[in-house]
């Protein structure tokens, strides 16, 4: 661990800060003598309620639940006692992380806004989800093939392909395409969401679901894809973390906790793009590949990538 003030590694534990519903480990930097908490968003450490409660309240509100109902549900779920005014203060404070607020009044909690279905592939469980309203609003006209493909999973998934194919992260591919590097809203939303994770394994789930519910462009997560790669004479399968529709393009996003050091992401995303293009008939030129974490976002066009598939690994 490094000090956020001076980046020194000479850090020791220095007690805990307790609130009514949580406690946070405090650290002391022996170099600059500054106290700090272990988090990517210090702001939430000074809240009375844990991040998981605040995130749940915001997400319920953006699913169309009225403030009173949000308060009722989180009180029951987390065994706490809070009112609608508190929930409203969270919604107002973190409004910049919730672009969905622009259209949330168009649906309500009485609608089935989010469809979810669990799939088990290669002894791993994946929670496929899509936002019905956003998919119809942003993809139906411009990318009907994407809408048809995603809604088709309500009837199940052809699991046989995942029993015989290789995962998209396995077949080695060298990609050489111009990569855009920046920090954007996806990074900020990830930084907020991961504070709700109980452990590192939960980070993917909380980031995916927070974006699906609160982002305006995110339409689906954990979307199964597969295709036959003739060059290696092998089926290739995978699950796309996040699919977005924005700027008249389809974006394939992969959350990588250490994005700056990620080596497999470019070829993994390339396979995703080829598979999704094949399944939905969306031209490769209208797809963008990206991987990100709470600090950085990388993006490239699969059409611009010069690909060399390595058959021997």
Q: pLDDT tens digits for 12-47?
A: 887 766 655 455 677 888 888 888 766 544 455 446
311 pLDDT above the threshold of 90: no
Over range 67-80, report the average pLDDT: 95
Over range 206-210, report the average pLDDT: 98
7 pLDDT above the threshold of 90: no
Please answer whether residues 74 and 56 qualify as being in contact, where contact means their C-beta atoms are separated by less than 8 angstroms.
yes
Task: Give me the chain's average pLDDT, please.
Answer: 87
Over range 99-119, report the average pLDDT: 91
Q: With a threshold of 0.75, does the pTM exceed it?
A: yes
Q: Looking at residue 185, what is its pLDDT?
A: 97
Q: Where residue 169 falls among pLDDT bands split at 50, 70, 90?
A: low
162 pLDDT above the threshold of 90: no
Please answer whether residues 78 and 196 qualify as being in contact, where contact means their C-beta atoms are separated by less than 8 angstroms.
no
Residue 64 Rama label (left phi>0; alpha psi -120 to 50; beta): left
Over range 113-139, report the average pLDDT: 94
CA dist 255 and 290 (Å) reads: 9
What CA–CA distances, in Å, run from 48 to 53, 60, 78, 250, 310?
Answer: 10, 19, 13, 39, 53
CA dist 209 and 60 (Å) reads: 12
Give the DSSP H/E element, type plus range, for residue 308: strand 306-309
Q: Where residue 160 falls among pLDDT bands split at 50, 70, 90?
A: confident
Q: Looking at residue 224, what is its pLDDT?
A: 95
DSSP secondary structure, 14-26, as one string: EEEEE-SS-EEEE
More confident residue, 217 or 32: 217
Q: Where residue 230 falls among pLDDT bands split at 50, 70, 90?
A: low
229 pLDDT above the threshold of 80: no
Q: Looking at residue 37, what is its pLDDT?
A: 66
Q: Where residue 165 falls among pLDDT bands split at 50, 70, 90?
A: low
144 pLDDT above the threshold of 50: yes
Tell me which residue of 224, 241, 155, 152 sits closest to 190, measured CA to CA: 241
264 pLDDT above the threshold of 90: no
């Amino acid at each position: 661990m490094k000090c956020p003030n001076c980046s020194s590694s000479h850090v020791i534990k220095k007690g805990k800060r307790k609130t009514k519903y949580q406690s946070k480990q405090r650290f002391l930097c022996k170099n600059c003598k500054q106290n700090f908490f272990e988090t990517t968003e210090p702001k939430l450490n000074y809240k009375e309620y844990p991040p998981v409660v605040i995130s749940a309240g915001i997400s319920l509100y953006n699913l169309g639940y009225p403030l009173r109902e949000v308060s009722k549900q989180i009180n029951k779920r987390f065994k706490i006692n809070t009112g609608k005014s508190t929930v409203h203060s969270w919604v107002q404070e973190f409004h910049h992380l919730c672009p969905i607020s622009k259209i949330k009044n168009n649906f309500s909690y009485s609608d089935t806004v989010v469809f979810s279905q669990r799939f088990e592939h290669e002894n791993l469980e994946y929670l496929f989800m899509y936002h019905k309203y956003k998919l119809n609003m942003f993809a139906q006209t411009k990318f009907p093939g994407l809408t048809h493909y995603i809604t088709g999973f309500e009837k199940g998934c052809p699991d046989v392909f995942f029993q015989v194919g290789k995962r998209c992260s396995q077949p080695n591919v060298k990609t050489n395409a111009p990569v855009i590097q920046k920090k954007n809203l996806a990074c900020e939303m990830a930084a907020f969401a991961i504070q709700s994770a109980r452990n590192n394994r939960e980070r993917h789930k909380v980031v995916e679901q927070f974006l699906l519910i609160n982002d305006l462009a995110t339409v689906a997560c954990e979307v199964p894809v597969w295709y036959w790669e003739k060059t290696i004479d092998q089926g290739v399968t995978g699950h796309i973390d996040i699919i977005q529709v924005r700027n008249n393009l389809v974006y394939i996003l992969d959350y990588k906790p250490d994005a700056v050091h990620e080596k497999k992401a470019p070829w993994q995303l390339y396979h995703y793009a080829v598979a999704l293009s094949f399944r939905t008939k969306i031209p490769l030129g209208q797809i963008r590949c990206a991987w990100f974490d709470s600090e950085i976002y990388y993006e490239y066009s699969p059409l611009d990538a010069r690909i060399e598939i390595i058959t021997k690994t």
